[in-house]
Amino acid sequence: MLAHNWQPFNIKTFQHSHPKTTTFALVTAKQRYFIELSYDGTNYHGWQIQPNATSVQEILNKSLSVVLREPIETTGCGRTDTGVHAREFFAHFDAEKSIDRPWTIERSENIVKSVNAILPKDIAIKKVFPVAENAHARFDATLRSYEYHIHFNKDPFKTGYSWELRDRLDIELMNKAAAVIMEHTDFSCFSKSNTQVKTNICKITRAEWVTGDSGIVFHISADRFLRNMVRAIVGTLIMVGKQEIKPEDVRAIIESKNRSKAGTSVPACGLYLAEVKY
């Protein structure tokens, strides 16, 4: 069930069955929009605006403000740390000025093209569409999925986008430990301290290592994630893969609620926000 009884408009579906000039929403003053984007996080200090550092949110706000000719402030579906990538990311914003024409597919495509023309090459807008005034990119998200990529042989085309690891890992043991993680909901041991969140409870619905042609990928999905959580989980599972600890030891680590008991956080370069569901 979607929160607030709204659903992001599927532009691809609409295009197959309607002409470009068809109106699908009458835009008024204080209209809320959703924007879908992707980005290479290498050159940014994460998504969220922060002093004395360049963020994806800062660059996006400036570009939208130029195109829409008014100050725009976006709210993201979450926050990614420095160097983390996003294949799929959503944000919402409110346009305060009235737009004196109906909202159409053509209008949406023109905004996408105009914003992309201003944005740097490592940030790309995919869609912009109007939503209900109470739709929220962060709070209405029901599922988020991350991937962590590891490769074992030197590859210049993977630099910055996957973590090169020389040690060979026991994937079967790592998946046994991943199954243990899914038995729990309190992940204090995998969270940065002093994050000021109300709860460290998360419901994980997938935690699995998959072997590929040139490496391995960890897939994890949950209703929410804590800061640094995925990278700390991966670091802990790698300890299992190296046989430094046993899969059942992960249970004791989680129950300890102590970050120092878990593994070291792995580098950000291999982490991707892969999917957000509403």
- Non-local CB neighbours of 272 within 8 Å, separated by 6+ positions: 84, 85, 86, 87, 146, 147, 148, 149
Residues composing the chain: 278
Nearest Cα to Cα of residue 56 among 32, 85, 92: 85
Nearest Cα to Cα of residue 144 among 79, 192, 66, 208: 79
Tell me if residue 81 is catalytic: yes
d(CA 108, CA 29): 17
Q: Which of 40, 81, 100, 213 is flagged as catalytic?
A: 81
d(CA 183, CA 86): 27
Q: What is the set of active-site residues?
A: 81
